[in-house]
């Protein structure tokens, strides 16, 4: 990571500085693992003791927690939103960019357009008419197909595959093993044979999106699959053909989104969610972990759903509560039936 002083960091974050402006900062860490040159943060009184006992000498903290940390000899960066300030600090302290240039083992087509300050790693392949924007990085063993486009400041980690014609905006990050623009899954069956439906569309990923490791995003079948600006997709997610994902939407690991579903802006999708085809998740809704959303279902704006089939969380909790009571209710029912049977036997005897 790049070495900065506490004073430089305070100016970068527009924070008030209390303490040693010349203190050097090398990286970020959690309180228990921090060294003297690491930056840590605190945003809750529950964390104050951990931070106070940490080896870290510089802390991002809100004003209401400053007094205790000041007494412990810490240098403070006073921020209204400490966690956000810490994230920005971490980005500024991030490791320097790798050496620029094309590795001698990379295969780059003569018709490919390579921008300024670009890095192309070992054994990467860039095909005809592909474009790599200024300051982008194509990691080792990555593949950029014919006519594919990377904007400026993108980063493809090792072994990322970008199929022909796929378009990435600026500052897009794709982690190792991601596959972008692969064929969608669609077949027409006739007389015992599956005929593959054409998969001739495209994939467009907007600025500042991030794609997790081993995630696949298919191209459109006849149209376009789209990921909006700042969409954040976790590891091991599958997004099928013709899906649209809105701006700032977050999708957690092992989720599958079937074809032609539309996910709005600022949506949160938990881990292992199954979204069937032609669903619509409106802006700002939340799909809890492992819920199942059946074909064509609409999740309304701002609604939180859980369970399979997905339903409003209040209804899910009520129904789940009754399910948990089923063994008890079964015992009570058996007792009632036994008592009723005994009463009938007594009546018949008399």
Give how far the C-alpha of residue 178 lies from the chain's centroid of Cα atoms, to the nearest Å. Answer: 13
Q: What is the pLDDT of residue 338?
A: 87
Residue 345 has pLDDT above 80, yes or no: no
Q: What is the pLDDT of residue 341?
A: 73
Q: What is the mean pLDDT of residues 188-217?
A: 97
* 8-state DSSP, 203: E
Beta-carbon count within 10 A of 80 CB? 9
Q: Output the CA–CA distances (angstroms, integers) from residue 303 to 49, 254, 309, 338, in the order listed.
A: 38, 22, 15, 45
Q: What is the pLDDT of residue 51?
A: 94
- pLDDT bin (cut points 50, 70, 90) of residue 344 is low
Span of 115-119, 246-250, 330-334, 337-341 with lowest mean pLDDT: 337-341
Give catalytic residue positions: 241
Sign of the torsion formed by the C-alpha atoms of 311, 312, 315 and 318: positive
Q: What is the pLDDT of residue 2?
A: 73
For 108, residues 6+ apart whose C-beta sits below 8 A from its C-beta are 102, 114, 120, 124, 125, 126
Position of tokens 């989720």?
255
Residue among 139, 279, 189 at smallest CA distance from 125: 139
Q: What is the mean pLDDT of residues 270-282?
A: 98
Q: What is the mean pLDDT of residues 243-261?
A: 98
Position of tokens 């982690």?
175
What is the pairing mode between strands 119-120 and 131-132?
A: unpaired
d(CA 15, CA 13): 5
Q: What is the mean pLDDT of residues 251-255?
A: 98
Tell me what percent of the residues of the chain surpass a pLDDT of 70: 96
- Quick: pLDDT tens for 297-307: 999 999 999 99
The residue count for the chain:
350
Q: What is the pLDDT of residue 250?
A: 98
- pLDDT bin (cut points 50, 70, 90) of residue 252 is very high
Name residue 189's beta-bridge partners.
194
Q: What is the mean pLDDT of residues 259-284?
A: 98
Flag whether the pTM goes above 0.75: yes
The residue ranking higher by pLDDT, 69 or 344, is 69
d(CA 319, CA 314): 9
Burial of residue 278 (number of CB atoms within 10 Å: 0-12, 13-18, 19+): middle
**Residue 35: left (phi > 0), alpha (psi -120 to 50), or beta?**
beta
Q: What is the pLDDT of residue 94?
A: 82
- pLDDT bin (cut points 50, 70, 90) of residue 342 is low
Residue 156 has pLDDT above 90, yes or no: yes
Q: What is the pLDDT of residue 63?
A: 93
- Yes or no: say if 182 and 218 are a contact pair by the CB < 8 Å rule: yes
Residue 91 has pLDDT above 80, yes or no: yes
The residue ranking higher by pLDDT, 99 or 49, is 49
- Quick: pLDDT tens for 58-71: 999 999 998 889 88
Residue 47 has pLDDT above 80, yes or no: yes
End-to-end CA distance of the chain: 92
Strands (DSSP E) contained in 117-231 are: 119-120, 125-126, 131-132, 137-138, 143-144, 149-150, 155-156, 161-162, 167-168, 173-174, 179-182, 187-190, 193-196, 202-205, 210-211, 216-218, 224-227
b/e code 8-35 from CB counts within 10 Å (16+ = b): bbbebbebebbbeeebebebbbebeebe
Mean pLDDT for the chain overall: 94
């Amino acid at each position: 990571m790049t070495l900065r002083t506490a004073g430089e960091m305070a100016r970068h974050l527009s924070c008030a500085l209390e303490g040693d402006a010349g203190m050097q900062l090398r990286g970020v860490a959690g309180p228990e693992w921090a060294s003297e040159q690491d930056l840590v943060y605190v945003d809750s009184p529950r964390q104050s003791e951990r931070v106070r006992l940490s080896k870290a000498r510089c802390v991002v903290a809100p004003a209401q927690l400053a007094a205790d940390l000041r007494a412990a000899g810490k240098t403070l960066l006073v921020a209204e939103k400490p966690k956000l300030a810490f994230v920005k600090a971490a980005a500024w302290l991030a490791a320097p960019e790798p050496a620029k240039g094309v590795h001698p083992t990379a295969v780059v087509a003569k018709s490919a357009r390579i921008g300024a300050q670009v890095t192309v790693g070992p054994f990467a392949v860039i095909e005809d008419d592909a474009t790599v924007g200024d300051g982008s990085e194509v990691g080792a063993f990555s593949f950029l197909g014919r006519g594919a486009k990377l904007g400026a400041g993108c980063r493809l980690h090792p072994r990322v595959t970008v199929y022909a014609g796929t378009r990435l905006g600026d500052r897009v990050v794709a982690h190792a093993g991601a596959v972008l623009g692969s064929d969608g899954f669609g077949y027409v069956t006739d007389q015992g044979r599956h005929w593959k439906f054409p998969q001739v569309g495209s994939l467009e990923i907007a600025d500042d999106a991030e794609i997790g490791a081993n995630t696949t995003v298919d191209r459109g079948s006849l149209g376009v699959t789209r990921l909006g600006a700042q969409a954040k997709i976790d590891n091991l997610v599958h997004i099928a053909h013709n899906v649209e994902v809105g701006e700032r939407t977050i999708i957690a690991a092992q989720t599958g989104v079937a074809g032609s579903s539309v996910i709005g802006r600022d949506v949160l999708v938990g881990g292992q969610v199954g979204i069937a085809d032609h669903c619509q998740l409106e802006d700002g809704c939340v799909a809890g972990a492992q819920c199942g959303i059946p074909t064509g279902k609409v999740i309304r704006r701002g609604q939180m759903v859980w369970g399979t089939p997905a339903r409003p969380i209040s209804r899910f909790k009520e129904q789940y509560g009754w399910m948990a009571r089923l063994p008890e209710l079964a015992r009570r029912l058996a007792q009632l039936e036994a008592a009723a049977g005994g009463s009938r036997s007594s009546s018949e005897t008399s």
